[in-house]
Amino acid sequence: MNTPITVQYKINAPVEKIWKALTDKTEMKLWYFDIPDFEPEVGKQFNFYEPGGENKFHHQCVIIEIVLLQKLKHTWSYPDFSDQKTMVTWELLPEEDATVVKLTHEGIENFSGLGDSFSRESFIGGWNAIIGQSLKEYSEKNSL
């Protein structure tokens, strides 16, 4: 099945606030992941681990496309488990005083066979929690 995962939420915060939350590593640490080597520039690679300090899953990503205040697209891989890559696209759609955040994760089937932690269901649950809870609560509480 080559169906991308799509997760979409309306967040009651301006697009500028959401963009900053997605592209400022200091803000990212407060709601997403601690990514010390993140630089919002096409071609830049960034690395991080899941929260909690176990460092079980090394995530490695490369920024493919940036459209200011609209789109951030990057690869998503686990080099310790597989040489396969997937693609994550964040899109921001302003809607009056709010922003629709749409995330598309393509290529999940590339991780099939790596275990439950890499299953489609695991990614769907993870992205819904990250956007629908973490990003939404962070952005709405700290709105401009």
Residues β-bridged to residue 91 = 71, 102
Q: Report the pLDDT value the prediction gives residue 143, as an integer from 0 to 100.
A: 56
Average pLDDT across the chain, whole number: 94
Q: Report the pLDDT value the prediction gives residue 1, as an integer from 0 to 100.
A: 53
Is the confidence at residue 30, as pLDDT, over 60? yes
Q: What values do phi and psi take at 72, rounded to 5?
A: -135, 120
**Cα–Cα distance, 129 to 144 (Å, whole number):** 23
Q: Report the pLDDT value the prediction gives residue 52, as an integer from 0 to 100.
A: 78
How many CA atoms within 13 Å lie on the side-chain side of 68? 0
Both structure tokens of 20: 């900053």
**Cα–Cα distance, 90 to 71 (Å, whole number):** 6
